[in-house]
């Protein structure tokens, strides 16, 4: 049985932090490296791949079936996703380039924090030092910046209703 390479997943969990939490949706973005369309069983492509937890999220939320990454490398594609611009607009066009332009940009996490959301980042980062992730709008960080094993736990106590 083929397993999904979740160790390379960039998982952004964004939980609402205000009394009106029930009025706003939770937002979860799974962003993976080397992930093909058929690598999730909710896509219905092959029956030997089983991803029941991701399938449950897809069934109870919105499943975006049409999208693309703006770069074939992890660093510029993640930077573009978080900023909401083509990464060439702020100078992060390939792995190994300066992140100075990215560091000056406002990220979706910063915008969501301003709107009262609690933000968290899990997994692969590669957009600078892990200790600097909070500078980009993530309150809670469970990061991996290398190819080593990774595990994280989060308490549902983060969600205030």
Q: For residues 53 and 42, what is the distance between their CA atoms, to the nearest angstrom?
A: 10
Catalytic residue among 7, 42, 74, 140, which?
Answer: 74
Residues 72 and 93: their CA atoms lie apart, in Å, by 10
Asked whether the beta carbons of 27 and 12 are under 8 A apart, the reply is: yes
- Locus of tokens 């909710």: 42
DSSP β-bridge partners for residue 32:
none
Count helices and strands (H / E) in the chain.
4, 4
Active site residue 42: no
d(CA 40, CA 112): 28
* Nearest alpha-carbon partner for 126 in 114, 113, 136: 136
Catalytic amino acids? 74, 126
């Amino acid at each position: 049985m083929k397993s999904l390479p979740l160790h390379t997943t960039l998982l952004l969990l964004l939980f609402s932090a205000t009394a009106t939490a029930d009025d706003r949706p939770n937002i979860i973005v799974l962003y993976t490296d080397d992930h093909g369309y058929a690598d999730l069983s909710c896509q219905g492509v092959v029956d030997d791949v089983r991803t029941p937890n991701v399938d449950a999220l897809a069934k109870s939320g919105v499943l975006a079936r049409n999208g693309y990454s703006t770069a074939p490398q992890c660093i510029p594609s993640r930077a573009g996703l978080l900023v909401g611009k083509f990464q060439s607009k702020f100078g992060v066009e390939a792995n190994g380039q300066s992140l100075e332009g990215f560091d000056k940009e406002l990220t979706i996490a910063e915008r969501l924090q301003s709107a009262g959301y609690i933000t968290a980042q899990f997994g692969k980062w590669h957009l600078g030092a892990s200790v600097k992730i909070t500078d980009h709008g993530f309150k809670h960080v469970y990061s991996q910046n290398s190819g080593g094993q990774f595990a994280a736990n989060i308490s549902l106590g983060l969600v205030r209703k």
